[in-house]
């Protein structure tokens, strides 16, 4: 049987393909922009036939119809490894549950059987002449859950870019059980996030720390975007990329001639990533582009792989920082906002890198529900909040008021450094709290 004959033998409709799902099954949807809305919609139609079906995803960018069709969770239980805005809204309704992880470990959960998968729903690019379907913009843990699944259903979408590897960036037709041809709708694009004056000030402070030949990791959000935009306009040379998330800023830096990867120690001249989210500019750039290399997350986010490159600069966000240096980047109290993701991996890995630096960036304040300013540097993490980066691992913290380097510093020195970069309106109050917490001495100085 040739590949096209095998393709035709496995070709079916979405409604027929999802008939393989049974009550009690665990289904793994795809990841990020590679979640199949078509297969989700077909599953939603079977709601009344099924009970106790667990759905797992990674940062699904939309609210699945299967979940919306079952507001009392009588049929489906929905779980996400890392929250999107859509998952956050569902969580607020009690319809989505977070799955804690350190991102680089994720494939091992499937390999060791901790997360048994019955059916995998994936979205892929069209088959090539060798019988392979490319995983598109998300390599992450997709190969691992496909390996674990008893049945794999693939939606083929012509809008999915062919993203070169790396390793495991494609799946062979022999491993797929059912093929569904989609409506070829374009990939979802991230909305443009406005960059504020504070974002730009923080970006300027971080830019001071980046040297020629540095290897970059950028997280999601306006602040990393601001840093990427400034780098594109800078005179920095021979930058590299080894990141979990590929975003539009990397395209800007590459096209400006700032980023070429020539000085990298591994994957030289390649932008290494595990998933991508952005605009069509990014997706078009990635398509069949040898400058990019997709890898599973147990490669991109392994701190010891990260550290094999010199001068790793990791740039991420946080929701709040306490005076001990603990960073919360994923929850507001008990309300889940996002997830640990790879932030811990890269902060840890950047320190292991020769000449590396890891930055947690945030504005010093946020507007509270009552319209008044609240400090994002706090005496302690808000009750119920999650510590994403322990004080033992955190490296640099940056606000618009400056930089605090925490490595090797005692609790009283950390408190001093962090209060120095807090908003001036809150510094006296933070000093009083530090005194109560026994982490302040008379020689402390506040600028």
Which residues form the catalytic set? Answer: 244
Beta-strand ranges (E) seen in 99-183 are 119-124, 132-134, 151-156, 170-172, 178-181
Torsion 298-302-305-311 (CA) sign: positive
Q: Residue 208 has what DSSP assignment?
A: T
Torsion 351-353-357-361 (CA) sign: negative
Question: Which residues, 6+ apart, have CB-to-CB distance to 109 below 8 Å?
Answer: 101, 115, 144
d(CA 217, CA 214) in angstroms, rounded, equals 10
CA distances in angstroms from 77 to 69, 70, 93, 394, listed in the order given: 12, 9, 13, 35
CA angle 379, 382, 388 (to 5 degrees): 95
Cβ burial 404-418 (10 Å sphere, 16+ → b, else e): bbbeebebbebbbbb
d(CA 148, CA 109) in angstroms, rounded, equals 10
* Summary count for the chain: helices (H), strands (E): 16, 27
Q: Determine the 3-state secondary structure of 141 from DSSP.
A: coil
Beta carbons of 252 and 351 less than 8 angstroms apart: no
d(CA 353, CA 435) in angstroms, rounded, equals 36
């Amino acid at each position: 049987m040739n590949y096209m004959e095998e393709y035709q033998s496995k070709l079916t409709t979405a409604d027929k393909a999802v008939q393989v799902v049974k009550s009690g099954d665990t289904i793994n949807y795809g990841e990020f922009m590679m979640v199949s809305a078509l297969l989700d919609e077909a599953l939603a139609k079977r709601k009344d036939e099924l009970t106790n079906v667990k759905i797992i995803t990674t940062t699904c960018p939309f609210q699945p119809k299967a979940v919306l069709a079952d507001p009392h969770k009588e049929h489906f239980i929905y779980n996400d490894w890392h929250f999107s805005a859509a998952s956050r809204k569902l969580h607020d309704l009690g319809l989505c549950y977070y799955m804690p992880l350190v991102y680089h470990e994720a494939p091992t959960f499937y390999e060791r059987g901790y997360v048994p998968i019955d059916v995998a729903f994936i979205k892929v690019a069209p088959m090539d002449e060798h019988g392979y379907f490319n995983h598109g913009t998300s390599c992450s843990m997709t190969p691992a859950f496909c390996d674990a699944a008893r049945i794999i259903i693939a939606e083929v979408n012509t809008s999915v870019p062919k993203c070169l590897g790396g390793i495991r960036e494609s799946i062979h037709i022999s491993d797929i059980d059912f093929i569904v041809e989609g409506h070829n709708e374009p990939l979802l694009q991230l909305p443009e996030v406005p960059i504020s004056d504070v974002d730009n000030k923080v970006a300027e402070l971080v830019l001071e720390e980046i040297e020629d030949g540095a290897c970059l990791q950028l997280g999601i959000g306006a602040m990393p975007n601001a840093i990427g935009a400034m780098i594109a306009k800078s005179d920095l040379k021979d930058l590299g990329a080894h990141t979990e998330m590929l975003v539009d800023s990397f395209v800007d830096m590459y096209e400006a001639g700032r980023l070429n990867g020539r000085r990298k120690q591994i994957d030289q001249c390649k932008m290494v990533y595990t998933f991508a989210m952005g605009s069509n500019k990014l997706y078009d750039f990635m398509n069949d582009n040898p400058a990019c290399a997709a890898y599973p997350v147990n490669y991109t986010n392994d701190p010891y792989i990260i550290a094999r490159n010199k001068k790793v600069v990791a740039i991420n966000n946080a929701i709040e920082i306490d005076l001990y240096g603990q960073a919360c980047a994923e929850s507001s109290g008990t309300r889940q906002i996002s997830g640990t993701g790879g932030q811990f991996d890269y902060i840890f890995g950047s320190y292991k890198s020769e000449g590396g630096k890891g930055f947690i960036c945030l504005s010093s304040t946020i507007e509270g529900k009552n319209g008044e300013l609240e400090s994002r540097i706090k005496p302690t993490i808000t009750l119920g909040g999650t510590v994403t980066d322990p004080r033992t691992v955190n490296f640099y913290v940056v606000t618009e008021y400056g930089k605090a380097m925490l490595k090797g510093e005692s609790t009283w020195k950390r408190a001093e450094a962090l209060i120095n970069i807090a908003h001036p309106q809150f510094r006296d109050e933070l000093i009083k709290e530090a005194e109560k917490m026994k982490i302040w001495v008379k020689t402390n100085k506040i600028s």
